[in-house]
Amino acid sequence: MRSHHIFIYFIVVVWLASCASPKNTTVSSSQGAAYSEDLSIWRPKAETPAKNNNTTTTVTDNPKQTQYVEPKYAVNKKLDTVLDSIDRYNRSKQFIDGFTIQIYAGLKREDALNAKKHLSSSLPDLPSEVVYAQPNFRVKVGKYYTRLDAQRDYVAVKKYFPTAIVIPDKVAIN
């Protein structure tokens, strides 16, 4: 037991010694001035354009007019290539991720057709479709690019179909 107390005492002494503040080892000059160093040599320097004595344009009318200088690090050609490839990819897509309102999902075809009929009589402006995804029939209303667009019609549909929900769906691009 005594060796255990000695070990703990040793750990505490070592810990306290390591927490002690280090000795001050600053170097001071003979005059007692503070240390300073000039770091301006490490600052990046801007390239100054070379003076061109063979200028063909003379500016006499407008002193603020300057001669066109081609950018040194232009990325226009590379950027055009990337933008063209993105454009080709986007033109090849037939569908995008969007939203629709689902008013019915069930096993009975008759119930799905009745829901569609009830919707067309209640809200004739909204297009709807019956989709069969085995084993369920679903009635979907509208095609929307954003959830906010779907939310506007969802409020009207919710009055007639309380179980309606906004779901993600593929929207055909015209």
Show me where the domains of the chain are located. Answer: 95-172
pLDDT value of residue 120: 92
**The residue to which tokens 């033109």 are assigned:** 91
Strand pairing partners for 131? 138
pLDDT value of residue 102: 96
Question: CA of 117: how far to CAs of 8, 22, 103, 107, in Å?
Answer: 85, 86, 12, 17
Tens digit of each residue's pLDDT, the chain (174 residues): 666 677 787 787 776 666 555 444 444 555 666 788 888 888 888 877 776 665 555 545 556 788 888 777 777 888 888 999 999 988 888 888 999 999 999 999 999 999 999 999 999 999 999 999 899 999 999 999 999 999 999 999 999 999 999 999 998 886
Which stretch of DSSP H or E encloses residue 92? helix 76-92
Buried b / exposed e across 15-36, counting CB within 10 Å, b at 16+? eeeeeeeeeeeeeeeeeeeeee
Residue 98: other Cβ atoms inside 10 A: 19
Question: CA of 18: how far to CAs of 2, 9, 14, 22, 123, in Å?
Answer: 25, 14, 6, 9, 80
Q: What is the DSSP letter of 23?
A: P
Which stretch of DSSP H or E encloses residue 104? strand 95-106
Q: Is the pTM of this model over 0.85?
A: no
Secondary-structure class of domain 95-172 per CATH: alpha beta
